[in-house]
Amino acid sequence: MGLAPTLTGAGVSPTAQPDPAIATAATLPSSEASTVLSSDFETFLKMLTAQAKYQDPLEPIDSSEYAAQLAQFSMVEQQVLANDRLAEMTAQMTVSNMTQIAALIGMEARTTQAVYYTGDALTVDTKPATGADEAHLIVKNKDGFVVERSQIPISDEPIQWTGRDENGAPLGNGFYKFEVESSARGEVISTLPASTFARITEARSLDGAPSLVLQGGTEILAASLTGLRAPT
């Protein structure tokens, strides 16, 4: 730790030509130096080096001020290293989570998002509101248009949707979303999303969070899952 004595007694050659970029950094006001320090500690290190290399031998750097600058540099360096380590840990956790949810591929996930109908019956969980005396299943296509509205029993038992409209005509393959409209004494008291099941085909990372891709391409966060079942 002989830095301070060396700095205070060091002279410079009259013919020495400082690097213009470093010399400019060395002359930055303290407020600007703090800004550079917070954004790039390597630049700050160059500034300290320039101060030591091109100091005026008649007015050397004050040892206490230089020590304070070194301490400030050390703190910023430690913060940068801590941030790097945190980023590494986050990446490791993401990989670990991805490995875990990859085991769900092939399972069927419960979701209220639009699911892809392939021609096979879809299990739809219909739960009319408490106090309802009438309920309807509302089916919407990918554009949000109602393609079917049919009365369903007042029961918590799921129904099998076979992809047909109110007249029994097939609707064809595509994305569909389900809602349950509950009524009491002729007035609608609630309209809530109805969940169904779709096969999981892929595991991904969505904005750093594990996500699942369902058959047809719908992507949902793994944390939003409310149920799983073996493929039917």
Residues 192 and 88: their CA atoms lie apart, in Å, by 42
- Could you give the C-alpha distances from 110 to 193, 195, 200, 223, in angstroms and in order? 12, 6, 10, 12
Q: Are 143 and 177 a contacting pair, CB within 8 Å?
A: no
> Which of 99, 117, 135 is the C-terminal boundary of a domain?
99
117 & 223 share domain: yes
Question: pLDDT tens across 36-77, in order?
Answer: 444 556 776 677 677 777 666 666 666 677 667 666 766 766
pLDDT at 39 (0 to 100)? 52
Q: Does one domain contain both 71 and 118?
A: no
Residue-wise pLDDT tens digits, 131-148: 999 999 999 999 999 999
Distance, in Å, from the CA atom of 107 to the CA atom of 232, rounded to the nearest integer, reads 9
Which of 99, 118, 141 is the endpoint of a domain? 99
| 91 and 115 share one domain | no
Cα–Cα distance measured from residue 61 to residue 85, given in angstroms and rounded to the nearest whole number: 35
- Specify whether 119 is located in the same domain as 86: no
Residues 6+ apart with CB under 8 A from 2: none
Q: What is the arithmetic mean of pLDDT over 121-138?
A: 94
Number of domains in the chain: 2
- Do 160 and 217 lie in a common domain? yes
Residue 51 and residue 90 in one domain = yes
CA distance 165 to 144: 15
Give per-residue pLDDT as tens, 87-100.
Answer: 555 555 455 666 77
Question: Coil, strand, or helix at residue 199?
Answer: strand
Both 64 and 130 in a single domain? no
Final residue of a structural domain among 71, 99, 127: 99
Is the same domain home to 143 and 191? yes
Arithmetic mean of pLDDT, 168-181: 94
Range of the domain at 13: 3-99
Torsion region of 48: left, alpha or beta (phi above 0 gives left; psi -120 to 50 gives alpha): alpha
C-alpha span between 61 and 95 (Å, rounded): 49
Give dist(CA 43, CA 73) in Å, integer. Answer: 10
